[in-house]
A and B are shown apart, each in its own frame.
Chain A
Amino acid sequence: MDGILGQKLEAYLRAKLPQVEQLSVSKLWRIPGGASRETWAFDALWQEGGKQTSHGFILRRDPDASVLETERDLEFRVMEAVWSQGVPVPKMHWLEQDGAWLDRPFFVMDRIDGCETSPQRLLMEPRYVRVQQAIARQFTQILARIHALDWKALGLDFLGVPPGPAGCAEMELAKWQAIVDREALEPQPVLRAAFAWLRRHPPRPAQGVVLVHADYRTGNFLVDEQGEIKGVLDWEMAHLGDPLEDIAWACIRPWRWAGDERVGGLMTRDEFYRAYSELTGLEIDDESLRFWEVLGNVKLAAIFLTGGRSFCEGRTASVMMALLGRNTGRLELEIMDLMEV
């Protein structure tokens, strides 16, 4: 057992799994990163029906403050729904909304072992470079599958249904503008001008209202050495909207880890667009995509400002939050490039 958190986890699991005996928690360690929630990995061992079982879990616990104040139940419910449709995500187990068990709300899901998420390793280590085409192919296929889900049948309308295909863009614009209004500690001329520019350059109405992952990019999926994507992570910003929003987000410069123009370091834009269009029948319109790329960079800047404010107001001691809050300069440059100003 590992410290107080481990003891509390054991007590929690005993309550959740009353039929098992000799339950213990081991190898509890905090996974670096995860600016929105604390992520812990652990093993649970127990006896059931005379048989010894070992199971790997992930605990996602609310932090003292976050880069975004998102609802953990949203992420839990969306992941549960997409898992039921065969989208590769970890199986969800338990959601706790109050802090009685582990001091803060949290959820527990399966751990997917033997996989990698780090863009650095995925793009540089020969074992992953060898299977890069397979990763790129699946990256597109899984996104197409997410966008094809029947969100109504899955009960995902709790995410908020946009007022028709033409309303998707305004709904996201209003959401992120409100976040900048609330979180910015200093004047933000570039971001404010970008909001005005975005309203002057609206995209075409969405070709359909779909489940948007909203953080779909290299770095947010688990892949094995055979190049199979085993889990898509970080669903906390998921919402209903325009599928091009996910396409644009995957393309924005901060995720072009290879330092060239390739989407997520994996494939060219043409390859990505063609494969996605073949799978979905949707058209990738350059001007609409530009709108969503500008908004994507604005959104990332808004996320960073939120982290910075949390640090400055003493709601978190995380230096990552402070660092993020100081990182909007490159995003502003990219926004101005995209606006062609």
Chain B
Amino acid sequence: MSAILPELQTQFAQDATQTMQMLLESLIGEWDAAAENLQADDRRLRELLASARGAILSARSPGERLESLAREIEDGLAVPAAGSLLVSALSEENRSLRALLELVLVACEEMGGESGPLGPVRSETYAHLREIAGRGWSFWDVMSFRERMARFRAG
């Protein structure tokens, strides 16, 4: 990058090239561990969905919406896990499971949050989503502006 940037004629070109570098860094960071992470995520998502289904089934009178959700979860979990370590196969499974988790979480928030029928799985689900989100890459971090600000303030 240090060899290319001086050759670029405009500030816009330099800026776009640096953006490209950040994009590549973010992709490298994700792809290196992609298969391992996706496999672990998919396993954990299945556990969370099974817990959500269990919470619904053990509720005294869950109601039509939750009963329907329990059936959807059951159908989703009946689909076999990805049979390979290909990122595409693991991602496809991940998308399906996250779509189900989305339904669970929305139902959870709409039906009383922590004190609702899905309360028991709420905190576990958010803990997992925090782990995933924390793994994400951020250009705010890469730019290190905040680090430089901290050094600046420290004199």
Binding site for B on A (CB under 8 A): 29-33, 119-120, 123-124, 186-190, 192-193, 195-197, 199-200, 254, 257-260, 265, 318-320, 322-323, 326-330, 332-333, 336, 341
Are A330 and B136 interface neighbours, CB within 8 A? Answer: yes
Contact A196:B23 (CB < 8 A) given known A29-B12, A330-B138? no
**Interface bracket on B:** 35 or more
Q: How far is the CA of A7 from the CA of B106 in the complex (A)?
A: 54
Measured CB to CB, the residues of B under 8 A from A are: 10-12, 14-16, 19-20, 22-23, 26, 95, 98-99, 101-102, 105-106, 108-110, 113, 122-123, 125-126, 129-130, 132-141, 145-150, 152-153
**Chain B residues with CB under 8 A of A186:** 95, 98
Which of B10, B19, B22, B146 touches A29 (beta carbons < 8 Å)?
A: B10
Judge whether A190 and B133 touch: CB under 8 Å: yes
Interchain CB contact (< 8 A) of A33 among B15, B102, B109, B137? B15
Complex contact A200–B135 (CB within 8 A)? no
Contacts of A123 in B (CB 8 A): 149
The dominant DSSP class at the A interface is helix
Q: Which of B26, B129, B150, B152 contacts A189 (CB 8 A)?
A: B129
Q: How far is the CA of A327 from the CA of B137 in the complex (A)?
A: 7
Indicate if the CB atoms of A259 and B11 lie closer than 8 Å.
no
Contact A124 B148 (CB under 8 A): yes
Tell me whether B109 and A196 are in contact (CB under 8 A).
yes
Q: Verify A332–B133 contact, CB threshold 8 A.
A: yes
- Knowing A187-B101, A189-B98, the reply to whether A258 touches B140 (Cβ < 8 A) is no
| Inter-chain contacts of B106 with A (CB < 8 A) | 192-193, 195-196
The answer to whether B12 and A32 have CB atoms under 8 Å apart is yes
Distance (Å) between the CB of B23 and the closest chain A CB?
5
